[in-house]
Structure 1
Amino acid sequence: MDLETILSVVTTYALPVLAALIIVYVGLKLSEKIASLIEANLNKAPTSDPSVSRFLASLCRYFLMAVTAIAALTIIGIDTSSMAGMILGLSAAAAFVLQYPLGNLAAGIMLNLFRPFKVGDEIEVNGVKGVVLGITLSSTRLKTRDNVEIILGNGNIWGGIIRNHNALGQRRLDMDFGVSYDADLDLAIETILSVAKSDPRIHAEPAPWAKVVKLNDSSVDIQLRAWCDYDDLRSLKVSISQPMKTAFDSAGIGIPYPHIVKIRKDLGNPTPTTS
């Protein structure tokens, strides 16, 4: 074999193969490096899920490896158009099958970026209310007040209306108290405000407010609006009624209650009369 033939073979086969091997080597190293960086950055989030981070990093690595393989085969001279089409088809099918899980992952990223709530907050979304136990990229765990665990896909949370009950720290308590129509309304309002101001859980600013809000069939409703810390709202709501009743009794203010009236009718047959 003469030198010209050897140079022709090397030029035709050896150099493309060598270039393909270099591309494969560099591509594998880059895919591992990029996947490791993605996993490490995802794990830096306070509420990250290591298994989800590893899964996303693996997807990226396999994608880069597929691109590397196609590039290497193209350098050698192998037609990869059909392979690229197959990969695109498989990718489209996978995206369709995984659209709900991927939607949850995308929503989880948005929740971690914008942080509309955090662990320990009490939230309400899509009619579900509970204290946040944990947030991952795919789902959020809640605990209801009666100790039931609820797991919501992040896609359902991010796409709905989120009510964060304790994000602002303070909450307003609204409670109605019914008094009788013959009660002194000014005295009743003064009594309600006195009880509210004597409770250390109720804030002095904004000051408690009480006004007549409704005239019912048998009572005049006076509403109390008082501000308190979120942590005190539930206990205040269930405990303020008793001192309010005691104060009403001391001031001689009547509280109406329903009465049941029974009417008896004589259904006997009347005695017929004749003219």
Structure 2
Amino acid sequence: FILNTFGIQTTSVVAVIGAAGLAIGLALQGTLSNVAAGVMIIFFRPLKIGDFVQVNGVMGTVQDVTLNYTEIASIGNVQVVVPNSEVWGNTIYNYSVYDTRRAEWEFGVGYGVNLAQAEKVIIDTIMADERSLSDPEPFIQVNNLGGSSVDFLVRVWCKSDVYFKYQADMKRQVKEALDAADINIPFPTRTLVYENSSADEAAGVAAE
């Protein structure tokens, strides 16, 4: 208004300032969204330094949380820097919040096996490990009648900090226990049935 009073045309000046403001705003949009998300993360604390998390497809231990980004050390100890907008805007799996976790397995045995015996071998083997918790109560039952096996579903609770190794160890220990008890662990097989004429023809070709 003052410049116009002195006869200076300000229309072009205002247009330039508006365009510059728009450009700066667009350039800062990503940064500002990261800062806003960073404030929310710091305030609500869905994760913190030292937590083992999975965020936006990245799994690892949180190393740092800033206003702009969250630093995660992957399982292979690789630094992964995730913008805070992608942290706050995605589902966060935090494996460090609760003290216990439920491990789950599925073990298959042959159709000719005594199911009561197989069930006892499986659950006794798992519960003999000191990492297995008796409370909540362990769970085991026949869950599926597969094409070549009867499948047991087993769920047992353990401490969160031993979960991954515990779950892997139990697979081996149960396999060895079933072998020792002479309980068959089947694998997929295929049976081919021929008609008599086809079978005779196949035998003749094989003989030649």
Q: Shorter-chain TM-score: what band?
A: 0.7 to 0.9
Query: Does residue 113 of the first structure (1) align with residue 43 of the second (2)?
Result: yes
User: What's 1:162 paired with?
Assistant: 92
- Which structure's residues are more often helix, by fraction? 1
Displacement of 1:130 after TM fit? 1.8
Question: Secondary structure of the residue that 1:98 maps to in structure 2?
Answer: helix
Aligned to 1:232: 162
- Within 1, Cα distance between the matches of 2:204 and 2:85? 66
Higher normalized strand content (fraction of residues): 2
**Contact 1:196/1:208, CA 8 A, preserved across alignment:** no
Q: How has the CA–CA distance of structure 1 residues 198 and 87 changed in structure 2, closer, same or farther, with 3 Å as cutoff?
A: farther
Which amino acid in structure 1 is aligned with residue 56 of structure 2?
Answer: N
* Secondary structure in 2 matching 1:236: helix
> Equivalences for 1:82-121 in 2 at 5 Å?
89=18, 90-121=20-51
Return the alpha-carbon distance in structure 2 between the equivalents of residues 214 and 165 of structure 1.
29
What's the CA shift for 1:202? 1.1
Q: Which residue of 1 aligns with 2:142?
A: 212
Which residue is equivalent to 2:55?
A: 125
User: Using the alignment, how far apart are the partners of 2:26 and 2:187 within structure 1?
Assistant: 61
Q: 1:189 aligns with which of 119, 134, 145?
A: 119
CA 1:246 to 1:130, structure 2 compared with 1: closer, same or farther past 3 Å?
Answer: same
Cα separation, 2, equivalents of 1:87 and 1:132: 44
Q: CA deviation at 1:108?
A: 0.4
TM-score by length of 2: 0.80
Within the candidate set 174, 178, 196, 2:104 is matched to 174
CA RMSD, Structure 1 to Structure 2 (Å): 2.7
User: Partner residue of 2:133?
Assistant: 203
Offset of residue 107 of structure 1? 0.3
Structure 1 or 2, whichever has the larger Rg, is 1
Corresponding residue for 2:171?
Answer: 241
Distance 1:133 1:185 in 2: 48
Per the normalisation by structure 1, the TM-score is 0.61
Structure 2 runs not aligned, ≥5 long: 1-5
Alpha-carbon displacement from aligned partner over 1:104-162 (angstroms, at most 9, x marks no partner): 01100100000001111121122222211111110011122122221110001111111
Letter in 1 for 2:154: L
* SS, match of residue 96 in structure 2: coil
Distance 2:204 2:24 in 1: 79
